[in-house]
Amino acid sequence: MNGQLSNRVAIVTGGSRGIGYAIAEAYLRAGARIAICARDEIRLSEAAGRLSRLGEVLAVPCDVSDLERVVRMVEETIDRFGRIDVLVNNAGIGMTYGRVGEIDSKQWAYVIAVNLIGTFNCCHAVIPLMMKQGGGKIINLKGYGADFPSPRVTAYGASKAAIVAFSRSLAREYKRSGITVNTLSPGVVKTDLLLNREATEEGRTYLERFNPLIDLLAVPVERPATLAVKMASSETDGITGKGFRATSRTAFLLRAVRFGMGRLWRG
């Protein structure tokens, strides 16, 4: 990976932990300079401290659902590094598992505000700079709900489906400007998002049925991080409006078969 991203500057939102942290780490190893943001200032500065052993890191506390904060984060990145070549819209939150009639409507709206409007906010603030530079790469994190129904996590699913539609439209809007927009499906990764889930009583029963699936499908966090490096590198120049997957459907089926055989074997 070394040198694949040298001279590039990237913003990774939600870079303080989970997949975003792994992407930030992989970008630094590949030679990029990076800005990361998150809401929790302490965790963010601890993450930046660890990451700065690998290269130049700017940490900006910011809630991506707040456009003013996002604009300030982008300005700080330009002040420090002079340009932005890659934007990874990774910041995302899950929600309390539960049916629409039983969950908190404010939380539902905040999930949309972070996952979808946060992605819009960052694109809105960065695209004029990328236009001036003659191009750039935008990578939007896809997720559960984009391809399949997402019962008990309707805000999350709706936000991810909308991110796919938004990304395709954005790719078309800026096709001739050198700005590419693609989505990244990380696969199932055991991060806080997946491990620390809250649920209504009914939602908990639903959730418990899915826990064995997480173990079955989980991939190491390095998998999406490596793909994110490729997507930010010249290897993918000119590709826009596409979806990149960190795990293949065939691998999923093979694991499902192995899981079923294991259960049969154990009786």
Of the candidate spans 59-67, 98-106, 167-175, 229-237, the one that interacts with ligand NAP by CB under 6 A turns out to be 59-67
Three-point CA angle 225, 35, 93, nearest 5°: 60
* Pick 192 or 237: Cβ nearer ligand NAP: 192
Tokens of 242: 């596409």
Sort strands 57-61 and 86-89 into parallel, antiparallel or unpaired.
unpaired
145 contributes a contact to ligand NAP by CB under 6 A: no
20 contributes a contact to ligand NAP by CB under 6 A: yes
Of the candidate spans 2-10, 129-137, 192-200, 237-245, the one that interacts with ligand NAP by CB under 6 A turns out to be 192-200
- Please report, in angstroms and rounded to a whole number, the separation of the first and last CA atoms in the chain: 44
Q: Considering CB under 6 A, how many residues would be counted as binding ligand NAP?
A: 32
Question: What is the DSSP-derived secondary structure letter of residue 199?
Answer: B
Tokens of 163: 């991110």
CB 122 within 8 A of CB 64: yes
* Pick 61 or 132: Cβ nearer ligand NAP: 61
Of the candidate spans 51-59, 85-93, 96-104, 165-173, the one that interacts with ligand NAP by CB under 6 A turns out to be 85-93
Q: Report the distance separating Cα 59 and Cα 17, nearest Å.
A: 13
Tokens of 41: 């200032």
3-class state of residue 103 by DSSP:
coil
Of the candidate spans 33-41, 173-181, 203-211, 247-255, the one that interacts with ligand NAP by CB under 6 A turns out to be 33-41
Q: Report the distance separating Cα 90 and Cα 75, nearest Å.
A: 19
- How many other C-beta atoms can be found within 10 angstroms of the C-beta atom of residue 33? 22
Judge whether 144 counts as a catalytic residue.
Answer: no
| Spatial CA neighbour of 185 closest among 240, 228, 239 | 228
157 contributes a contact to ligand NAP by CB under 6 A: no
Site string for ligand NAP, 122-141 (x = CB under 6 A): -------------------x
Catalytic, out of 21, 27, 97, 156: 156
Q: Which residues are catalytic?
A: 156
Residues lying near ligand NAP in the complex (CB under 6 A): 13-14, 16-20, 37-40, 43, 62-65, 90-93, 114, 118, 141, 143-144, 186, 188-189, 191-194
